[in-house]
Structure 1
Amino acid sequence: MHIAYLTPEYPHARINNGGGMGTSIENLVKALVKNNQQVSVFVYGSRRSEVFTDGGITFHLIAQKNYKVGGFYFYRKHIEQYINNNAQNIDILEAPDWTGITAFMRLKLPLVIRFHGSDTYFCHIEKRKQKLKNKWFEMLAVRKAMAYIAPTYFAGEKSMELFKLPKEKLKVIHYGLELENFNNNHPEEFEKYRVLNIGTLIRKKGVFQLIETFNKLVEIEPKSTLVFIGADSVDIHTGSDSTWELMQNKMTDKAALSITYLGKIPYELVQEQIKKAHVCVFPSLAETLGMVTIESMALQKAVVNTNIGWAQDLIEHGVNGFMHHPDDIDAYVASIKELFEDLNLTIKLGQAGRVKTEDKFDIQKIVYQNLELYKSISSL
């Protein structure tokens, strides 16, 4: 097959954007190429227009265009024209739900939408009021698809419900990892009492709950340290330009001395930080899956994770990690403290986490689930 992807991000040196969605696409795309499939990636919102091939993948960078009026419509039509002009021999196109990028498009290709996390979904989860135009764009976009893919049952079923789509068109296929790239030969070696959180500093990631947790934790275990990795962001609730500044205001004086913010670091360096951690903590309030959770599990790290909806696909509480509601601060403190005090438990949960990723999140297995769906759609 020749499979194409439309995306605003992809983790490549010649592309300016990369995040969790881009990483999940990259993992799938590389696995497809290994299985002798042809792949094209259309990256919209790029700084320049360019076509190049790398690793058997053809990349089309579609430069962002500015319009005096109606940019939301005319740029989508520009993307549509570009894809249709380059659609020769492409069998199927996959696009994200986020922002409803395929709204107003009349594509010559069968379209599959993957629920990476729409504004509609996140506004519902976070109980935020959604702008009507955002809901309209996303509603128009998803209704053009022939099938839908979700990384977890919760994200899929909730998205289908919100968009009033027939559930029989939904297929749940987890994000996958190239597990050969996630090796930790010495899981027993780490910095004791080091807590790690990875992700954009944004309210929905539970960063304020984690500060509150650490304020209590450092009182119980003064050797505790906390490291944040990820880009800073605007806080939509307060209008602040920096969530990190707001987080600092929530820290006790004692906690502040033991908290480090590394900012956004190169992807290849993140693994080293994961390996150094005693515990990885992700008290997220809104995700579709949470790539950093399964990446940490693949590296045999003990994880204390959120327990909301989507997380039920990732962890069995007490078996391969711990799960609590982000607002249950005392439960987070208790689980982290238990792991600090019981190194055997830390290693045991890490080993079980690796087993879970090998069973459920191995991209070499997951790629066939995607191919099966693509073939069924392209044959219609």
Structure 2
Amino acid sequence: MKIAFLTPEFPHPKTGTSGGIGTSIQNMTRGLAALGYQPLVLVYGQDRDEHFEENGVSFYRVRNVKIKGLSWYFTRKKIQRIINQLHADDRLDVVEAPDWTGITSFINTKCKVVIRLNGSDTYFCHLDKRAVKWANRFHEKRALQNADAVLSVSRFTADVTNEIFGLHRDFTIIPNSIDAASFAPAGATSSQTILYFGTLIRKKGLLELPHIFNKVHEMNPAAELVLVGRDARDIQSGNASTWAMMQPLFTDSARKKVSYRGGVAYTEIQSCIREASVCVFPTFAEALPVSWIEAMAMEKAIVASDIGWAPEVIEDGISGWLVHPANHELYARKITALLEDAVLRESIGKAARQRVLSVFDIAVVARSNAEYYQRLLNK
């Protein structure tokens, strides 16, 4: 069985930077290759066309077609030709694509196409309560309607997607995964460090975090907040920097305990997690966040958002704590309780890793994916 992943991003020096979709695909290809399958990755939006192979995975870099006003159409037709040729050459049996911007909306393949929900633009705009571009909504809905089968990383994302597009599709739920063996337990630390890692952007609760930390600082003046991730433009206000918007929200005293390290290489994230006592994710919009799973695998106590998808990742009070990001007082109290109780942190951290091993480890998830695709191809 040969599975191809069509994606706008993948974390590799030749394909550029990547977010959660690319990281999830990287984990899946490694897991499938370990099971003896032959995964392919087709990355569009590249600066050149290129094919190379690495660690049992075939990569195809695809340069977009540049025709004013029609690039979207001719790029899709170029991808269609590549997929159909690979299928004719017996190089692939099925193609998986993300829901983001509906890349497969005008791609007609001779093989089966599966859409996996990681959160479409329409989905995130719905959660953010802002307008979505007409073209993105059109292509995303058309791609979902035309897909041979549909997956979702969380039940919440599947239900919301059906609602906002007026669909009645039966989504199979297979979560995102990580290689838990690569995220070894960090061990106990006596630091008073709180870590957020991810993009600095409104939808991830970064404009709530200063208010939360102000209250933590009042309860525990020794607490420190470390922020790791690239800065982002704020869509609602047009401000070029979310970090610039955050700074005036801290009290003068609390601001002295805040460190922003900017974006770091993915390989450095584990060092940041290891140094922290508590990880925080006060987000308003996710599908099923890989960052949470990575911190859990390293036995870190987490205080995260309680919205929608969250209970599918963390069992509240067992493998982490879930609080609404706008409830600054309660959020701060949960963080402070963990900072002050090493035994509690250890208990929650160990439960978090056990949940990752049983639900989100690549060995478990890759097998679920392989079985799903085999059933699909057998129909």
The one-letter code matched in structure 2 to 1:115 is: L
State whether structure 2 residue 304 is matched by structure 1 residue 302: no
Instruction: Find runs of 4+ consecutive structure 1 residues off by over 6 angstroms.
Output: none
Change beyond 3 A, Cα 1:17–1:304: same
Aligned position for 1:273: 272
1:302-328 Cα offsets, whole Å, 9 max, x none, are: 000111010111111111110011111
Q: What is the aligned partner in structure 1 of residue 225 from structure 2?
A: 226
Deviations, residues 200-240 of structure 1 (Å, cap 9, x unaligned): 11100001111111122112211111111111111001111
1:311 maps to what in 2? Answer: 310
CA contact (8 A) 1:279 1:304 kept: yes
Other-structure match for 1:144: 146
Deviation at 1:97, TM superposition (A): 0.3
- State the distance in 2 between where 1:65 and 1:146 align: 26
Rounded Cα–Cα distance in structure 1 between residues aligned with 2:195 and 2:67: 43
Residue ranges of structure 1 left out of the alignment (5+ in a row): none
Match of 1:54 in 2: 54
Q: Following TM superposition, by how much is the alpha carbon of 1:247 offset from its aligned partner in structure 2, in angstroms?
A: 1.1
- CA deviation after TM superposition for structure 1 residue 258, in Å: 1.3
Q: Residues 1-380 of structure 1 correspond to what in structure 2 (within 5 A)?
A: 1-87=1-87, 88-89=89-90, 90-168=92-170, 170-184=171-185, 186-188=186-188, 190-380=189-379
CA distance in 1, matches of 2:55, 2:62: 20
The two structures have a TM-score, normalised by structure 2, of 0.97
CA distance in 2, matches of 1:167, 1:79: 25
Give distance in 1, aligned partners of 2:251 and 2:74.
Answer: 50
Give, in whole Å, the separation in 1 of the partners of 2:94 and 2:167: 20
For residues 321 and 69 of structure 1, the distance between their equivalents in structure 2, rounded to whole angstroms, comes to 48
Partners of 2:58 and 2:113 in 1: how far apart? 19
TM-score, length-normalised on structure 1?
0.96
Alpha-carbon shift at residue 144 of structure 1 (Å): 1.4
CA distance in structure 2 between the partners assigned to 1:46 and 1:77 by the alignment: 16
Preserved CA contact (<8 Å) 2:197 2:227? yes
SS in 2 for 1:37: coil
Cα displacement string for residues 118-177 of structure 1 (whole angstroms, at most 9, x for unaligned residues): 011111112112222211111111111111111111111221232333343x10001111
Instruction: Give the partner amino acid of 1:121.
Output: Y
Q: 1:255/1:64 Cα in 2 relative to 1: closer, same or farther (>3 Å)?
A: farther
- Residue 43 of structure 2 aligns to a residue whose secondary structure is strand
RMSD of aligned Cα (Å): 1.3
1:46 and 1:17 map into 2 onto residues whose CA distance is 11
Contact 1:191 1:276 in 2 (8 A): no
CA contact (8 A) 1:16 1:47 kept: no
C-alpha separation between the residues in 1 aligned to 2:320 and 2:94? Answer: 38
Given that 1:8 and 1:17 are in contact with CA atoms closer than 8 Å, whether structure 2 keeps it comes out as no
**Structure 1 residues 325-372: Cα deviation after superposition (integer angstroms, max 9, x where no partner):** 111111110001101111110111101101111111111011121112
CA deviation string 1:222-279 (max 9, x = no partner):
1111111111111001111111111112222112211111111111110111011010
The alignment partner of 1:367 has SS state of helix
What amino acid does structure 2 have at the position aligned with 1:7?
A: T
Asked if the contact 2:53–2:59 (Cα under 8 Å) also holds between the matched residues in 1, the reply is: yes
1:191 deviates by 5.0
Cα offsets for 1:4-36 (capped at 9, x unmatched): 000011111221121111111111110100111
Q: Is the 8 A contact 2:64 2:71 kept in 1?
A: no
Shift of 1:65: 3.3
Cα gap change, 1:257 to 1:43, in 2 (>3 Å): same
Mapped to 1, the partners of 2:112 and 2:166 lie a distance apart of: 20
- Unmatched 5+ residue regions in structure 2? none
Structure 2: how far apart are the matches of 1:29 and 1:98?
19
Does the residue aligned with 1:228 lie in a helix, a strand or coil?
A: strand
Q: Match of 1:124, as an amino acid?
A: H
Out of 79-88 and 97-106, give the one that drifted further: 79-88
Structure 2 CA distance for aligned equivalents of residues 141 and 307 of structure 1: 30
Q: Which moved more, 1:320-329 or 1:127-136?
A: 127-136
Residue 86 of structure 1, CA deviation: 2.5
Specify the code of the residue in structure 2 equivalent to 1:194.
Answer: T
* Mapped contact 1:123–1:129 kept (Cα < 8 A): yes
For residues 46 and 250 of structure 1, the distance between their equivalents in structure 2, rounded to whole angstroms, comes to 39
**SS at 1:86's partner residue?**
helix
Tell whether the 8 Å contact from 1:7 to 1:42 is kept in structure 2 after alignment: yes
Whole-Å separation in 2 of the counterparts to 1:191 and 1:68: 57
